[in-house]
Structure 1
């Protein structure tokens, strides 16, 4: 059985990225996030614009730095990978539910307004709301995995940490960054953002670590989020007499 490929870029393979290159990548991630939250788009297909920029801007920056090797973030998609998507998606759901219950028992939680609003949508509006979440969730994976690789590069190259320790540092650091990006969504509820969102993020990052395939972690992320969206929509559309 051939050895599994290592993570790209952090150790110079398939191409090196310099310190300036990593800074450019992190700025592109920040700029993409700014585009997502500031470009006004309320209805489909306008909602595709900020979501697509969120994923597209960092990938363009990565392609600028690595040329054809930007695809090293991704892998093939077949039945095995689809199974991995469902495995890690279910694990993320379980982890976030467990963390959510813990946070709820410790105090109040803040609802996600985007999710809460789905309960009042028609079926067509719900489907049109789901479509732009596909590029957006790809963007959220890029928001997590590029910083993961950047922190891994920093830990192993400049801090002289071992690879295993560097992976641990990168998981924690990138998960904290991802959770912090969700603070405005949850009304600056720190415990919920870092406890619930951060926990789910660790599982999704482990999906990438296990497979070295951003399609797998993205698919798991879609399964995790769409399950929540679909439950909210279905719960509000069940006739009262059947509840």
Structure 2
């Protein structure tokens, strides 16, 4: 799936400067395979079903090895659906080989996202009375193997969050690309999926809409950037994992010192 789209020369003229011009984003212009409107609706429905499966099953498996089950459902449901709609090789268009330059991108956006997280966190704290993320309490309350399991299943869930963001982004881009130029279509699709990402986190933040939107939309846009640059979901996932694992690790250290 690392082969560039046939019309990449034309598409590169419409790309942002930060994008790697040797390949285009998948699916929205028919490469490596075209997905019709019905197919995209099925994929979007599977993303929603996967999220519902995550929310429903997490309370059923609060500890132990079973904590991996909700995260695995979150990842596999949309990928299997994409394979059913667009062919078994279609999910491979999201996953590419990591190169040395990708590591630099991951680390760079990890640092940038840390800065953005601190800044928006300070802004939200100044503007509103905020609700805490219960994931921090969960890792500090974990004991023994459950602490190791926590970092394992959260890594899988964060991959699921990238799939949850990128598949709708590509679906929106496929819809918008027929109606406007590529650059505004990319911007609108990115903003739309960032808002969705923020809104689905409302239960996490006790339905505090301003905190979720102001706090998470900029962070989600930063996390999407590695994928937009490299076309590789591993880069955005690795950035996301580094970011959240750092937060969880600090929470765990802080909890153990009390």
TM-score, scaled to structure 2: 0.88
Q: Secondary structure of the residue that 1:205 maps to in structure 2?
A: helix
Q: CA RMSD in A?
A: 1.4
Q: Specify which of 217, 221, 225 is matched with residue 202 of structure 1.
A: 221
Tell me if the contact between 1:47 and 1:132 (Cα under 8 Å) persists in the aligned partners: yes
Q: Secondary structure of the residue that 2:66 maps to in structure 1?
A: coil
In the alignment, which residue of structure 1 is the partner of 2:36? 18
For these two proteins, the number of residue pairs brought into alignment is 236
Deviations 1:34-82 (A, max 9, x none): 0000012111211111100101000001111222132111111243322
Q: What pairs up with 1:60-79 in 2 under 5 angstroms?
A: 60-67=80-87, 68-79=89-100
Q: Specify which of 122, 129, 134 is matched with residue 155 of structure 2.
A: 134
Tell me if the contact between 1:182 and 1:193 (Cα under 8 Å) persists in the aligned partners: yes
For structure 2, the 5+ residue unaligned runs are 1-19
Tell me if the contact between 1:44 and 1:129 (Cα under 8 Å) persists in the aligned partners: no
In the alignment, which residue of structure 1 is the partner of 2:66? 46
In the alignment, which residue of structure 2 is the partner of 1:6? 24
Q: What pairs up with 1:1-243 in 2 under 5 angstroms?
A: 3-39=21-57, 40-67=60-87, 68-157=89-178, 160-238=179-257
Tell me if the contact between 1:179 and 1:197 (Cα under 8 Å) persists in the aligned partners: yes
Q: Secondary structure of the residue that 2:65 maps to in structure 1?
A: coil
TM-aligned CA deviation for residue 3 of structure 1: 4.1
For structure 1, the 5+ residue unaligned runs are none
The whole-number CA distance in structure 1 between the counterparts of 2:231 and 2:218 is 20
Tell me if the contact between 2:139 and 2:248 (Cα under 8 Å) persists in the aligned partners: yes
Deviations 1:98-156 (A, max 9, x none): 10100001121110112123223335332221111111011000010001101111111
The whole-number CA distance in structure 1 between the counterparts of 2:144 and 2:220 is 29
Deviations 1:202-235 (A, max 9, x none): 0011111111100000000000100100010011
The whole-number CA distance in structure 1 between the counterparts of 2:175 and 2:24 is 16
